[in-house]
Structure 1
Amino acid sequence: VVLVPIVGEYGPTGVLTVGLMAGVMLVALAALRAGKYMQYVPAPVVEGFTLGIACVIGLQQVPNALGVPRPEGDRVLVVTWRAVEEFAKDPNWTAVGFAVAVAAVMLVGARWRPALPFSILAVVAATVVAQVAGLDAAQPIGDLPSGLPAPTLGFLDIGALGTLLAPAVAVAALAALESLLSASVADGMTVGQKHDPDRELFGQGLANIAAPLFGGVPATGAIARTAVNVRTGAGSRLAALTHAAILAVIVFAAAPMVSKIPLAALAGVLLATAVRMVEVGSLRAMAKATRSDALILVLTAVATLALDLVYAVIIGLIVAGALALRAVAKQARFDQVPLDRGDHSAEEHALLAEHIVAYRIDGPLFFAAAHRFLLELTEVADVRVVILRMSRVSTMDATGALVLKDAVEKLRR
């Protein structure tokens, strides 16, 4: 969605230049220690994003699991519905059997022997069965590229840097957001593990600086592969290095073998991964915490499924921020308090009370609560003096100060 328009407007070299610029920006974000701001993303947004991504991953596998060609369309719900319609016209139970069998082996095996790589064993078994039985309906992966593209070193167009700045910022923002959210989801899927967001940004930046030099497009951390990695027992960076090394071997030496793997078997792997990404207990606890948390969780999940990652997170953050402001604003109190008697007699105190009134302001006097304070204060009448006790005001912004000024002027008039 982000890269294709860049290709259309600036060509392939534009994408490579954008990737290099985005990599430099990510390294700069890491140097500025911008990763720490991810801690301000509320837990319901992360949980809703995880749930939505799990649904997206599962639905994306439906065409392959049903053994039908992937229908046209950009929205996963539309594509899934069309795939189901195609399957209803011409059912492919062989593909369904492969997908269900692989997913079942992974889910059951993970409970029985978590240390064993049941995903690999299941895919190998499915491939052997498909080849021995000659099941063409299993729809294999097909031919893979036999080598890597030649390095592309002369792509940088200095004159186009200004026009490519906006696309590069968009790519860098998406890379940072998706990578850090993927890392946060991985933290939630493990015990005692926590990523370093600035190191993650630095690594993504270096990768995106290096990739364009070899003709590679910008890349981010991906939640699907991250989830598979974590759920199969990965515990260190060695897993990523092993993944890269094995992928290189496959491309150069084992492509003919890999091309025989049924797509339905790989769909089963990702279906099982999607199921295992969802922490039912965590979702249930968050849904029961407050209505606001439940609303943010559901809204983020639905937006992830119906729109895309960036819009989902933005919507989740905006709603979470609005609800948080509403909750803080409710904490602000404006109450009338009794006057101090001092050395006055009861008669004198009663006379003073007819002409003097005292109010105490508690909590934040800021834009979300200040106008309510103004309405209540300006309703005061038939007194000569208004005392404002403000020692318990926790914070005041410019709006609060302006409202206070307006209230004083109206009371004086």
Structure 2
Amino acid sequence: MEPHKGNRLGDTARRLFLKSLRPASARLARHFRDQWNELHLDLGPLRATFRSYSPAKLRTDLSAAFNVALLSFPQGMAYALIAGLPIQYGIYACAVASIIGPLFQSSRYVVLGPTNATAVLVFSSFLNMGGEVDKSHSLSLLLLLIGFALLIGALFRAAALTQYVSRTVVIGYITGAAFLIIANQAHHMLGVSIPEVSTFSDIVIQTIRHAGQTQWPAAFLSLVTLLVWWWLKTAFPKLPAVAISLLVVSVLALPLRFVSLPIHYLEPIPFGSWPITLPSFHWHWFSQLASASLALAFFAAVEGTSIGKSLASRSGEPIDPNREMFAQGAANVACAFLGGMPVSGSLTRSALNWISKPATVLANLWSGLLLAGGLLLAGPLFAYIPMPALATLVVLTGLSLINWRDIHIALTTTRADGLVFLVTFLSALLTPLDFAIGLGIGVSVLLFLQQVGQPSLVEYTYDEEEGLREKGRSEERILPEICIIHVEGELFFAVADLFREQIRRICLDPSLRVVILRMRNAHHLDATCALALEELARMMHDSGRHLLISGATRPIIRVLRSSGVIKTLGRDNVFPLFGVHPNLSTRNALLRAQQLLGKKESEVRIFYEKVQVKPKAGEAEDNGST
């Protein structure tokens, strides 16, 4: 009977435990359902687009799609080359992202695909692993991790977090990445091979060390590519100079294939070849790729959101950053199974798409189909593309990323911005890029906290001419027993000790009996500073003195009330802010001070700052009162 009784007790406990889990699981399911519904990912916009699609819209979209596809072919190859991957991976990514993106995107202008930033991060991340992870076999797992990170971030509406990344960090990172791109392609332009190294300084040293082995035919072909590109940019600025330069130089180099010259050509892609990849999971790979995937997902979100917002401000059309983030996640997951490399929002292709003025978001879809068809049909022709020519175009792309005006603004605006830029830029040259991004963000946050962590505490006085004003250092108080301290700035945990110490020093004056903290311009009071206020109030009360607060805003009143600190201060000693006359609360605090001091009203003159109120028609202007 006892075992049977024990089993019944165990079953009862199990049922109670499972029953207790049901409300939590139901709440979690409702939360995910609500988050999904807020993204509006029911493909309704795409169905509506197809319903109203017309031949005129199709022609406009195909024109934009053709322009973008022409640019995507050489850029995809270039970005794959930057990442150290086979060139077809870049075109796979461009095609897949352009087909999957429109299913979820909110903007018709943003073009998804590989970018300089994601390519350099992939290159840097794998080099930093020191060959411990096989790049070709683990790439699909990396893409899957990036995609899941972006999808989860979109469901939890994390796109808003990208606004906390300083533009100075992005400028420093992109500038450092541009130098890394240029340095990593220089040996291809010279026709020499160097060992794989992970930082800018090591790449430069190895390139200089092997410069004596330069193959002059390759260097001459690089020079020809540069001249053709320059002529097209100056004579025909509206044409896709990168794609045409690559085509022209490949045609010019055809006779050189029949001569034994040391020129390296790209590997051909078999006709109709598009392999399906299945991500392989290995715990050792996961532990190595986790941090790289988070860095790539974060920067992809930052890059895609900034591009989308920039184009939205120019077009006047709304954009949902979380939907764009979800589209990026879906595109990366698709690339994990259909080949490719990490994708984000492309700045150059999105700008070209904006100039081309597509009618609908389907322009991206047609561009992806054109890329897929071109790759399947023209893959064998890649064997005629010289590597020095493609490397030269990659270097030119890297040079275009260096924005000297942005660098000048970052260096000269404030000392903090200059320091953040230099730290991010130098760390991008000397360390892996994912570490450089984290270091730049960390330094910018620390400098911001240092800046806001110094609240301004200024003593105020009053006179008949100016009313309430700042008191000079050598000026004595009109009433030695009363001190008015104007508090301005952020009152969060980092400033609690400084805030407490400054008030304590003021309170050392033996003649002082009442301190009024004027907090109309104080913000974000938290528990740490609330406790500091309570400690000050107790200290003053124990010595027979009083602490009053004037100009308390609603958030400050809410914190004081919810924490219970208002009871220690005394409800009669806290005076809320008045909207029309913001200094009436200080007047009321002075009246309360005279009451605490036991003085008659005639013994203390009450002043408050004059407030200019715009008079209505027919009314006299109210200049305040004393």
Q: TM-score, normalised by structure 1?
A: 0.78
Question: 3-state DSSP class of the match of 1:338?
Answer: strand
Note closer, same or farther for the CA distance 1:48–1:17 as it changes in structure 2 (3 Å cut).
closer
* From 192, 210, 213, the counterpart of 2:314: 192
* From 53, 63, 69, the counterpart of 2:187: 63
Query: Could you tell me how far 1:11 is from its partner in structure 2?
Result: 11
Query: Could you tell me how far 1:245 is from its partner in structure 2?
Result: 4.5
Q: How far apart, in 2, do the equivalents of 1:282 and 1:272 lie? A: 19
Query: Could you tell me how far 1:63 is from its partner in structure 2?
Result: 1.1
Given the alignment of the two structures, is residue 372 of structure 1 paired with residue 513 of structure 2, yes or no? no
Q: How far apart, in 1, do the equivalents of 2:135 and 2:246 lie? A: 38
Deviation per CA, 1:324-349: give whole Å up to 9, x if none.
2222234x2222333899xxxxxxxx
* From 519, 523, 544, the counterpart of 1:394: 523
Q: How far apart, in 1, do the equivalents of 2:353 and 2:254 lie? A: 26
Q: How far apart, in 1, do the equivalents of 2:135 and 2:463 lie? A: 78
- 1:341-360 → structure 2 map (5 Å cutoff): 353-360=479-486
Deviation per CA, 1:285-327: give whole Å up to 9, x if none.
3322222222222222222222233222222212212222222
* From 118, 123, 126, the counterpart of 2:241: 118
Q: How far apart, in 1, do the equivalents of 2:215 and 2:477 lie? A: 92
Structure 2 equivalent of residue 23 of structure 1: 147
Question: 3-state DSSP class of the match of 1:390?
Answer: strand
Note closer, same or farther for the CA distance 1:307–1:250 as it changes in structure 2 (3 Å cut).
farther
- 1:130-149 → structure 2 map (5 Å cutoff): 130-133=253-256, 134=259, 136-144=261-269, 148=273
Note closer, same or farther for the CA distance 1:383–1:165 as it changes in structure 2 (3 Å cut).
farther
Q: Which amino acid aligns with 2:202?
A: V
Note closer, same or farther for the CA distance 1:378–1:323 as it changes in structure 2 (3 Å cut).
same
Given the alignment of the two structures, is residue 276 of structure 1 paired with residue 405 of structure 2, yes or no? no
Q: How far apart, in 2, do the equivalents of 1:371 and 1:353 lie? A: 28
* From 214, 218, 226, the counterpart of 1:95: 218
Note if contact 1:50-1:185 (Cα within 8 Å) is conserved in structure 2.
Answer: no
Note closer, same or farther for the CA distance 1:293–1:68 as it changes in structure 2 (3 Å cut).
same
Structure 2 equivalent of residue 39 of structure 1: 163
Note closer, same or farther for the CA distance 1:240–1:283 as it changes in structure 2 (3 Å cut).
farther
Note closer, same or farther for the CA distance 1:152–1:106 as it changes in structure 2 (3 Å cut).
closer
Deviation per CA, 1:15-65: give whole Å up to 9, x if none.
656644543442232233222221222211121122122112211111101
Aligned length: 396
Q: Which amino acid aligns with 2:525?
A: M
Note if contact 1:109-1:118 (Cα within 8 Å) is conserved in structure 2.
Answer: yes
Structure 1 equivalent of residue 443 of structure 2: 319
Structure 1 equivalent of residue 110 of structure 2: none
Query: Could you tell me how far 1:222 is from its partner in structure 2?
Result: 8.0
Q: Output the aligned Cα RMSD.
A: 4.0
Question: 3-state DSSP class of the match of 1:387?
Answer: strand
Query: Could you tell me how far 1:6 is from its partner in structure 2?
Result: 13
Note if contact 1:27-1:202 (Cα within 8 Å) is conserved in structure 2.
Answer: yes
Please identify, of 41-50 and 241-250, the stretch whose mean Cα deviation from structure 2 is larger. Answer: 241-250
* From 292, 298, 308, the counterpart of 1:177: 298
Structure 2 equivalent of residue 288 of structure 1: 412
Query: Could you tell me how far 1:86 is from its partner in structure 2?
Result: 0.8
Query: Could you tell me how far 1:85 is from its partner in structure 2?
Result: 1.6
Note if contact 2:307-2:345 (Cα within 8 Å) is conserved in structure 1.
Answer: no
Query: Could you tell me how far 1:353 is from its partner in structure 2?
Result: 4.0
Q: How far apart, in 2, do the equivalents of 1:189 and 1:80 lie? A: 35
Note closer, same or farther for the CA distance 1:125–1:20 as it changes in structure 2 (3 Å cut).
closer
Structure 2 equivalent of residue 129 of structure 1: 252
Q: Which amino acid aligns with 2:342?
A: A
Note if contact 2:427-2:436 (Cα within 8 Å) is conserved in structure 1.
Answer: yes
Q: How far apart, in 1, do the equivalents of 2:489 and 2:135 lie? A: 56
Q: How far apart, in 1, do the equivalents of 2:363 and 2:255 lie? A: 32
Question: 3-state DSSP class of the match of 1:378?
Answer: helix
Q: How far apart, in 1, do the equivalents of 2:353 and 2:247 lie? A: 16
Structure 1 equivalent of residue 118 of structure 2: none
Structure 1 equivalent of residue 604 of structure 2: none
Identity %: 22
Note closer, same or farther for the CA distance 1:358–1:101 as it changes in structure 2 (3 Å cut).
same
Q: How far apart, in 1, do the equivalents of 2:222 and 2:349 lie? A: 16
Q: TM-score, normalised by structure 2?
A: 0.54
Q: How far apart, in 1, do the equivalents of 2:214 and 2:334 lie? A: 45
Note closer, same or farther for the CA distance 1:260–1:284 as it changes in structure 2 (3 Å cut).
same
| Structure whose CA Rg is larger | 2
Higher relative contact order (CA 8 A, sep 6+): 1
Given the alignment of the two structures, is residue 405 of structure 1 paired with residue 526 of structure 2, yes or no? no
Q: How far apart, in 2, do the equivalents of 1:83 and 1:135 lie? A: 24
Structure 2 equivalent of residue 334 of structure 1: 457
Note if contact 1:339-1:358 (Cα within 8 Å) is conserved in structure 2.
Answer: no
Q: How far apart, in 2, do the equivalents of 1:289 and 1:351 lie? A: 39
Q: Which amino acid aligns with 1:141?
A: L
Query: Could you tell me how far 1:82 is from its partner in structure 2?
Result: 0.8
Q: Which amino acid aligns with 2:266?
A: I
Q: Which amino acid aligns with 2:301?
A: L
Structure 1 gap segments, 5+ residues each: 342-349
Q: How far apart, in 2, do the equivalents of 1:131 and 1:326 lie? A: 61
Note if contact 1:175-1:221 (Cα within 8 Å) is conserved in structure 2.
Answer: no
Note if contact 2:159-2:305 (Cα within 8 Å) is conserved in structure 1.
Answer: no
Q: How far apart, in 2, do the equivalents of 1:15 and 1:390 lie? A: 59
Q: Which amino acid aligns with 1:219?
A: P
Q: How far apart, in 2, do the equivalents of 1:185 and 1:370 lie? A: 35
Q: How far apart, in 2, do the equivalents of 1:77 and 1:229 lie? A: 32
Given the alignment of the two structures, is residue 48 of structure 1 paired with residue 172 of structure 2, yes or no? yes
Note if contact 1:19-1:171 (Cα within 8 Å) is conserved in structure 2.
Answer: no
Structure 2 equivalent of residue 309 of structure 1: 433
Deviation per CA, 1:116-168: give whole Å up to 9, x if none.
12222222222233221437223212344566465456x688xx8x9998778
Note if contact 1:339-1:357 (Cα within 8 Å) is conserved in structure 2.
Answer: no
Q: Which amino acid aligns with 1:407?
A: L
Q: Which amino acid aligns with 1:269?
A: L
Note if contact 2:147-2:297 (Cα within 8 Å) is conserved in structure 1.
Answer: no
Query: Could you tell me how far 1:263 is from its partner in structure 2?
Result: 0.9
Note closer, same or farther for the CA distance 1:208–1:62 as it changes in structure 2 (3 Å cut).
same
Q: How far apart, in 1, do the equivalents of 2:218 and 2:138 lie? A: 40
Q: Which amino acid aligns with 1:300?
A: T
Query: Could you tell me how far 1:198 is from its partner in structure 2?
Result: 2.3
